[in-house]
Amino acid sequence: MKKKTTNGKETKIIKLEELSWKQIDELDREKSIFFLPLSPLEEHGPHLPVGTDLFTSQDAAVEAIKILNKKNPSLSYILLPSIPVGYCKFAVDFPGSISVSGKVVRDIVFSVGSSLAKHGFKHLIICTYHMAIGHLKGIYTGMKKTMNKYDIRVCEPWGPYFYSNEVEKREPKLDFDTSKELHAGFRETSLMKYQYPYLVDESYKKLQSIYRDLCSPRVLGKTFKQLGLEDGYVGSPARADADYGRWFFNETVNVYVKSALDLYNGKELPDLPKNIKLTMRALFWQ
């Protein structure tokens, strides 16, 4: 299928929901890469929208597709509609957080992946910004099930990057420890100040820094409020900086671009580090 151009310069993003089955049937099976943004609606402190993770995964996928269209125009990049679903049980004592079981996440990934694979498509990228292990367990189990059953390659690029501490290694030098910025803190507030400044409540400037180790076994299964996180954030939102947000956003875009090309070129897919996989395996479906 020919890519339509809007103004001659920018290539139009192909959205699956805008195509007819006829047009989809005309796509080259070997040369089409699908992007599925999948993140829950989840409270992000008193200052950020519940769609923070969903917006970021969707917008980064759109930017990645724009770059890929220029970098390798012989391939087709198709954006699927964003699915506002994920596992975020620890955040449900705040209104607006919607959590589903990891099994639901698994079934969504398998259903989307197998529906594409049954028609011969070969490449799917799951774009998520939500790094909860229970959510990733759903995604990775769904990916594995799909790839065991069908001739399709599916990958989730951000988890392996995030959990191998690549952000800390590559980010601009800062005078504080960003590895403690776990939820709606410096990083995500910076992101939203860059992407959606009008959705960031000015109160972020006055929020105290709050730190918790959310990976420790003692806190597993507890909700944010049970951990004394009354406002629903972990980190230092007041430090937010739109320039850092731009860097962080572009970093995500670059990770998506690289993964898409690696996926297409048959290279080894990024995987989660061992310790995360072990935690994931030990976790019961909730």
Which residue has the CB atom at the shortest distance from Zn ion? 53
Compute the distance between CA of residue 80 and CA of residue 14 in angstroms, rounded to an integer: 9
DSSP codes joined into one string, 3-56? PPBSSSSSBPPEEGGGS-HHHHHTS-GGGEEEEEEB-----BTTTB-TTHHHHH
When the beta carbons of 43 and 63 are compared against Zn ion, the nearer one is 43
We find the least distance from the C-beta atom of residue 135 to Zn ion, in angstroms, to be 11
We find the least distance from the C-beta atom of residue 277 to Zn ion, in angstroms, to be 21
Compute the distance between CA of residue 263 and CA of residue 33 in angstroms, rounded to an integer: 9
We find the least distance from the C-beta atom of residue 49 to Zn ion, in angstroms, to be 10
List the beta bridge partners of residue 79: 15, 35
Number of residues that bind Zn ion (CB under 5 A): 1
When the beta carbons of 91 and 260 are compared against Zn ion, the nearer one is 91
Stretch that binds Zn ion, among 25-33, 50-58, 61-69, 145-153 (CB under 5 A): 50-58
We find the least distance from the C-beta atom of residue 97 to Zn ion, in angstroms, to be 11
Q: Which of 53, 24, 41, 100 is nearest to 196 (CA)?
A: 53
- Among 43, 53, 59, 231, contact with Zn ion (rule: CB under 5 A): 53
We find the least distance from the C-beta atom of residue 177 to Zn ion, in angstroms, to be 19
123-127 sheet: strands from edge to edge = 14-15, 76-79, 32-37, 123-127, 153-155
Residue 15: strand, helix, or coil: strand
We find the least distance from the C-beta atom of residue 195 to Zn ion, in angstroms, to be 13
User: What CA–CA distances, in Å, run from 263 to 21, 107, 183?
Assistant: 25, 22, 29
Residue 109: strand, helix, or coil: helix
We find the least distance from the C-beta atom of residue 22 to Zn ion, in angstroms, to be 38
When the beta carbons of 251 and 262 are compared against Zn ion, the nearer one is 251
Stretch that binds Zn ion, among 52-60, 169-177, 232-240, 269-277 (CB under 5 A): 52-60
When the beta carbons of 53 and 59 are compared against Zn ion, the nearer one is 53
Stretch that binds Zn ion, among 24-32, 46-54, 76-84, 216-224 (CB under 5 A): 46-54
Q: Quick one: CA dihedral 215, 98, 277, 268, positive or negative?
A: negative
The answer to the question of residue 43 lying near Zn ion (CB under 5 A) is no
Strand 123-127 with 76-79, pairing: unpaired
When the beta carbons of 53 and 63 are compared against Zn ion, the nearer one is 53
Binding site for Zn ion (CB under 5 A): 53
